[in-house]
Amino acid sequence: MGTYNPPSSLDPTFTTVTLTGDLTTPGKIISTGGSQTGKFLTGSAGNTVFSFSGDNFDIRAGDGQSSSQNVMRVKSAKNVGIGTNNPGAKLEILKAGDQLKLSFDGTDNVIFAVDTNGVLTITPSGAAVDFASKALINVSDLDLGTASTTGTIWAMLTAANAGTAWLILSRDTSDIHRARLGLSGGVDTAVWGWVNSTHTGIVLSGDLDANSQDIDNVGSILDINSAQVVGTRVVDARIDDAINSGDATTDGVIDAIRDALQTHGICVAA
């Protein structure tokens, strides 16, 4: 100062600078101490800290002297961690409990939580989770209902979708990949039924292939006109009366067939 040709630039060194007003600069504020570490403290006790260290930008609580006080970290790879200093994705939230809450207003929201077994629970304040007419794919199991509530699968039936309630398709045309539906109650004695407003039972659009297996305990089988073709009221012990060959051997065979039908419950004595 006091000369037009200063021998060197002015390089003041301050331990602490206290400002009572604003600090404005068209340039940069650069921290060169502590391996490129800088901190901005706010509040009388430094309750909020912005910390720059290496490739990390941290927001800390407390006195800000340790990364263990981090509330959030942004890494140079652009990953953001909340509750963790090493986020493994663009956003990672680490917390034992509810990790994420999305709110529409003060009462309408949905909570996402991952438990200690890695199971995701989605809890909306409303009655459902709406997938906006999109597919839910690559699902292994659907666990419906609870110990006190019945699980239900239902579909919107309209003229536009031809009234098809549930369609199971395979991903290709290979026979081994044909869609298969298995019903089980967890025990061998489970009984299942299908019911709608006009039918009780299972309605097929094609043939029923028993694959060489038995069909047991059949009451009656009706044709397309609801005429009984198999059942005790039609096929009964009078089968041998309808066929009388007059030959004892042939009649004996017919009687044996009649007895077998009675034994297996297909017909009853006249």
* Residues 140-181 pLDDT 10s: 888 888 888 888 877 777 777 766 666 666 666 665 555 566
Q: Report, as an integer, the average pLDDT of 58-75.
A: 82
Domain residues for the domain of 123 are: 96-127
- Please tell me the total count of domains within the chain: 2
Residue finishing a domain among 110, 127, 144: 127
Looking at 49, 69, 94, the residue that finishes a domain is 94
* Token couple for 268: 């009853």
Instruction: Look at residue 263 in the predicted model and tell me its pLDDT.
Output: 78
The domain boundary residue, chosen from 51, 78, 94:
94
107/155: higher pLDDT: 107
Residues 54 and 107 in one domain: no
Compute the distance between CA of residue 268 and CA of residue 238 in angstroms, rounded to an integer.
9
Question: Across 19-28, 129-138, 214-223, which has the greatest mean pLDDT?
Answer: 129-138
Q: How far apart are CA 39 and CA 52, in angstroms?
A: 6
DSSP category for residue 67: G
What number is the average pLDDT over the span 19-31? 76
Give yes or no: residues 49 and 87 share one domain: yes
- The fraction of the chain above a pLDDT of 90, given in percent, is 21
In a domain, 115, yes or no: yes
The pLDDT of residue 81 is 95
pTM: 0.57
Residue 90 domain flag: yes
Residue position matching structure tokens 């260290």: 53
Are 51 and 57 within 8 A, CB to CB? yes
Dihedral of alpha carbons 78, 82, 88, 91, sign: negative
Question: Can you tell me which residue has the tokens 């026979």?
Answer: 175
pLDDT at 219 over 50: yes
CA dist 71 and 84 (Å) reads: 8
Q: Is residue 227 part of a domain?
A: no
Beta-bridge partners for 102: 110
CB contact set of 176 (below 8 Å; sequence gap of 6+)? none
Q: What is the mean pLDDT of residues 8-24?
A: 69
Q: Are 183 and 193 in contact (CB under 8 A)?
A: no
- Condensed to tens digits (0 to 9), the pLDDT of residues 226-252 reads 766 665 444 444 555 555 666 777 777
DSSP helix/strand/coil, 266: coil
156 in any annotated domain = no
Please classify residue 80 by burial: count the beta carbons closer than 10 Å to its beta carbon, then call 0-12 exposed, 13-18 middle and 19+ buried.
middle
Residue 88 lies in a domain: yes
Looking at the domain assignment, is residue 62 inside a domain? yes
